[in-house]
Amino acid sequence: MTAIETVSEKTCFDGVQGFYTHASEICACDMSFAVYRPPQADAGERLPAVTYLAGLTCTPETFAVKAGAQRVAAELGLVLIMPDTSPRGVDLPGEDDSYDFGAAASFYLDATREPWSRHYQMASYLTREFQEVVAANFPVDTRRQGILGHSMGGHGALTLHLKNPGLFRTCSAFAPVVAPMQVPWGTKAFTGYLGEDKEAWKSYDACQLVAARPSKARILIDQGTQDQFLERELKPHLFETTAKEAGQPHELRWHEGYDHSYYFIQTFVEDHLRHHAETLAA
């Protein structure tokens, strides 16, 4: 069994919200994560799971504390998995200099540029090593997994689903960065982690991926009209246009008056979990 260390566990809606760490070989550092086990886990069966990828500046605690998702997960019998947003404490130069690059800003990719490539291997970590950790320590049916994310994490959810539709069978996102090659957050991250070759960037851009390899899953995206990052960083209309052209099943829902905060996520997280459970519980 892949060893983990329990940081804390609390009873929540008759299930358990836990926080954990483990030594990662892929990221070459200790990685933190959170898991919510619903009460159905007590029966000993393996359950469907949804992995949540948080956005810039966030930690595994952010969704667990702010989203109010455990109540719905307890009803539906879903395990919630919340990895960290990046490696931590690896002492790379500049890792803490800005909120949108380095610590808590991995963009869920595999860095190829030094010194980031030594630790920032999040795509491989989440699809390989972390899968083994979860399967060995929690009652998860690895054949029934979905992925959900917010902002940078929405970018991660879309790209990891489109590249691994057999692993993450369902997908949804709140206010995702859908075209990172075309916006400041993405170009800064991609240049720093991947270098100047824009061909290498394409494999981490949801618009590029959906054009080349649409999935069969219906992707749900929620976007607030008062999101302060809407026009500069998010541009969901680009994904909608490309998805239509590619034949990707999807739904982009606009919500009047909502911004980029967790008040937005709290309001609609139940819809997202039911969206995943509809397929995963079957």
Active site residue 151: yes
Active site residue 272: no
Q: Phi and psi of 241, rounded to 5°? A: -65, -45
Distance (Å, whole) CA 244 – CA 100: 30
Strand order across the 250-255 sheet:
5-12, 15-24, 29-37, 79-83, 47-53, 140-150, 170-174, 219-224, 250-255
Distance (Å, whole) CA 252 – CA 31: 33
Task: Please pick, among 119, 150, 260, 276, the residue that the annotation labels catalytic.
Answer: 260
Q: Any idea what DSSP says for residue 64?
A: H
Task: Please pick, among 151, 172, 250, 276, the residue that the annotation labels catalytic.
Answer: 151
Task: Please pick, among 227, 250, 272, 275, the residue that the annotation labels catalytic.
Answer: 227
Q: How many CA atoms lie within 13 A of 79 on its CB side?
A: 23
Find the distance separating the first CA and the last CA of the chain, reported in whole Å. Answer: 29
Distance (Å, whole) CA 266 – CA 48: 21
Grouping H, G, I as helix, E, B as strand and the rest as coil, residue 12 is strand
Q: How many CA atoms lie within 13 A of 120 on its CB side?
A: 27
Burial class (CB in 10 A: 0-12, 13-18, 19+), 55: buried
Active site residue 260: yes
- Would you name the residues annotated as active-site residues? 151, 227, 260
